[in-house]
Amino acid sequence: MELTQTLILNLALLIVPPVTLVLVFWQWLARHIRWVVALTALCDVLLFWDELFYYESFGLFAVLILVQLVATGAAAFRFYYKQRKG
């Protein structure tokens, strides 16, 4: 499989927004970090609107978004419960 510029750009668009959102909420809005998952989903829909409804890539896109949301949710809730304990 060849790494094309489009593939690298899409990978960056799938990684950078959720990581940025988790870090921003963790530092400044820790009480509301649960909203990160919804904001990540919104970012994904806005960034990948044209791929979302392309019939050949819908299944792969849905799996990638699901994996990303689970990972983002796990990180967000881990930080949330850690903040509530401490």
Mean pLDDT of all residues in 42-68? 74
For 26-53, the pLDDT digits (tens) are 778 777 777 887 888 888 778 777 766 6
Tokens representing 61 are 């896109």
- Tell which wins on pLDDT, 1 or 35: 35
pLDDT of residue 13: 79
pLDDT of residue 52: 67
For 70-86, the pLDDT digits (tens) are 888 887 778 777 777 76
Contacts 24+ apart (CB under 8 A), 69-72: 69/37, 69/40, 69/41, 71/18, 72/18, 72/21, 72/22, 72/36, 72/37, 72/40
Confidence of residue 6 (pLDDT cuts 50, 70, 90): confident
Helix extents (H) in 1-86: 5-28, 36-47, 49-52, 58-85
pLDDT at 54 exceeding the cut of 70: no
